[in-house]
Amino acid sequence: MSWACSNGYTPCSVCSPVSCSMAPVETQIQSAPGEFSLSQNYPNPFNNSTTFRFWSDRPQAVRLEVFDITGKSVMVPFSGAVSVGEQSVTINASDLPSGNYFAVFSGEKQRVTRKMVLVR
């Protein structure tokens, strides 16, 4: 489940709490042929660990790499082959300091980036 504003936007600077009412929206992860879809990590912000869900329409090699705000790679929690369907990867960030991080999920035909916030 994710959240969407009643005006169709996802929560962001376009909407303010005054002009936006939040409602739960069921999310179904789908992708184009030969690609994958990646959900936002949950929870976010997080403390120590967070989980990404993704969906692949075929077996393929994928890589999940985490970068700090300066662009330095700080970990590769997963790199390998995945099967068809929905999968999940949990990141253990207990060795990292608080801050903003970017998770880059790369497949054979695409690359997707998600922002994460680690709080201690």
Q: How far is CA 42 from the centre of its chain?
A: 8
| Higher pLDDT among residues 66 and 22, named by residue | 66
The domains found in the chain, sorted by start residue, are 1-27 (no CATH), 31-118 (2.60.40.2550)
Evaluate if pTM is beyond 0.75: no
pLDDT at 24 over 70: no
Question: Which pLDDT tens digit goes with each residue over 45-77?
Answer: 999 999 999 888 889 999 999 999 999 999 999
Structure-token pair, residue 110: 């695409």
Q: How far apart are the first and last CA of the chain?
A: 25
Diameter over CA atoms, the chain: 46
Q: Are 39 and 90 in contact (CB under 8 A)?
A: no
Any residues with CB less than 8 A from the CB of 100 and at least 6 apart, and which?
Answer: 68, 69, 115, 116, 117, 118
